[in-house]
Each structure stands twice: as structure tokens, then as C-alpha cells.
Amino acid sequence: MTTTRPVPGEAVALEIPAVPLTIEGYSALHQMLRVRWTAWRGLQEADRREIVSEALPVLTRMEQNSQGQSAFYSLIGHKGDLMLVHFRESFDDLNRAELQLAQLRLSEYWEPTTSYLSVIELGLYDSTTKVYKSLIERGIEPHTDEWKREIQQTLDRQKEAMRPRLFPAIPPNRYACFYPMDRKRGEDKNWYTLPIEERARQMNEHGLVGRRYAGEVKQIITGSIGFDDWEWGVDLFADDPLVFKKLIYEMRFDHVSAVYALFGQFFVGLRCPAEKLGTLLEGELPPAK
């Protein structure tokens, strides 16, 4: 009886793990708040000034923090009045930021509408398939100690090379758009059952659309599997909000979005420097720089 040997490339494809490698940077928290306008307007003007004066040093330090910034936005629409975006080095630091804000008298005049917890993430689809195949061809079995050491070395190199993208300053653009999203896991279409090479191909095609908008919009992707109700968060920053519409609409036509993407609520706001928060609370939008 003769035995047909598998083609080497096919054997590797069957053996490589399904999970792509990722590298992580800043922890991220988005807080959406509603201002209790009636209570705020009911205060004497001197009391409002005093409350804002107490808050400004704290908010300014957060905004200028070199180990992860905060940024403040005036939300448009009914989903809230303020969006606070915090980047920090750890979840502990995010919680400290929350507690700092809760100690301010100003916090008595806002209430949360929602929040989102995640961590800045870069997916390494292309590197993943190359590294997995290389290790298997060298006879290193997946998930062994030697495999884990090799993978960690790869991640360490990638993290150092990608440090500016993993630990960015919050872009200073006038407008921000945040939304969460998932990949479908339904009975008919399930992203997680596709071969890793096919997922890599589709994600590369998806990324080509975003790169066409380089210079017009800054995008920061955060991972939230195990942290919040969706799988990823997306932050877009631009000086012209129409770019958000054009970019997201165009992306809907690529295969990975058309077939596998699910989207949560969208939040769009205008940047408000910490020093201008008092102006905003008096009903006047700070001018664009």
C-alpha cells in the first residue's frame, strides 16, 4: 500500500495555531458624561468659578501627563455632553484617574452615560503566519516552552519597533469619533473559523483603505476582548468630520467589513482644552486653534 505524503506547505498550514499575535500599549478608558445642567445653572456664578478653578489643575495635569494623556471633548447629540479619553500605562492608573475625577466638586454635576475599557492593540497577522511557519519548519512544537520563548522574543522586537504607535500622544485634532465593533460569530458567517492566512489577507485589504486617508485622519485601535462588551474600539481624529463618514463608508465595501463587521454606537465630539472647560460649561464652545 502506498502512502501519499502531504505537501510541506499544506502540512504547515494545518498545524499553525489560529490565534494571531498582538502587541499592546497604553490602557485606554473612554468616559461619556451627561452634565446636570439644571443643578449647574442653579449655582451662583462665584460658586461655578470656584468649582472650575478647583478642577482645572487636575484636568491640566491629566492633559499634559507624559505617561499617558487625557483629552476632553464636547459630545454632539443625546448620548452625553462630555467624552473623556484617558491613555495610561496600566489599568491601575486608569482607576486612579477615575478616582481623581470623582474627588472633584465638579463631579457632583455630571453623571456617566456609558464608558469603554480597552488597551491599544496592534495585530500582527503578517508576522504571525511567517513566525509560526518558520518555527514549525524548524521542528518547534506549538505551545512548548521553546515555542513560547521564540514568540516572546518576536513580540519584544515588534513592541520596541512599534513603540510610537503603542504609546501615542492623543492627537490634537478638532474632532474625534469613537465606536466599538465586533467580528461576526454567527452560524452562517464566523470570522473565527476562517484560516489565519485568509484572515490576514482580508485584514491587509482592509488596511489599504485606511492608508489612503493618511494625513487626513489619525486612527488608534484598542482591543477590548475580556474587558468590555465589544471586541475592539476605534478612535478616529481629524480636523474635518466629513473624513469620518468617507473613510468608514469606503471601508464598508471591503470584504472583511461587508461580511464580518458589527458596529456599536458612534460618539463624535469637539476637542475642548482643559483650560477652556469653564467656557464650555457656560455654554460657549471654545474656538478652534
Residue 211's pLDDT is what?
86
Q: Taking the chain (289 residues) in consecutive chunks of 10 residues, what is each chunk's mean pLDDT?
A: 42 70 97 98 97 97 95 97 98 98 97 98 92 92 94 95 96 97 87 90 87 92 97 97 95 91 96 95 84
Active site residues: 179
Residue 10's pLDDT is what?
46
**What is d(CA 228, CA 223) in angstroms, rounded to the nearest whole number?**
9
**What is d(CA 60, CA 73) in angstroms, rounded to the nearest whole number?**
14
Cell of 121: 492593540
Residue 100's pLDDT is what?
97
User: Given CA atoms 169, 171, 176, 181 in this order, what sign does their dihedral have?
Assistant: negative
Residue 188's pLDDT is what?
85
Instruction: Locate all alpha helices (DSSP H) within 194-262, ordered by sequence.
Output: 196-211, 242-251, 255-260
Residue 282: other Cβ atoms inside 10 A: 13
- Indicate the burial class of 129 (C-beta count within 10 angstroms; 0-12, 13-18, 19 or more): buried
Predicted TM-score of the model (pTM) = 0.91
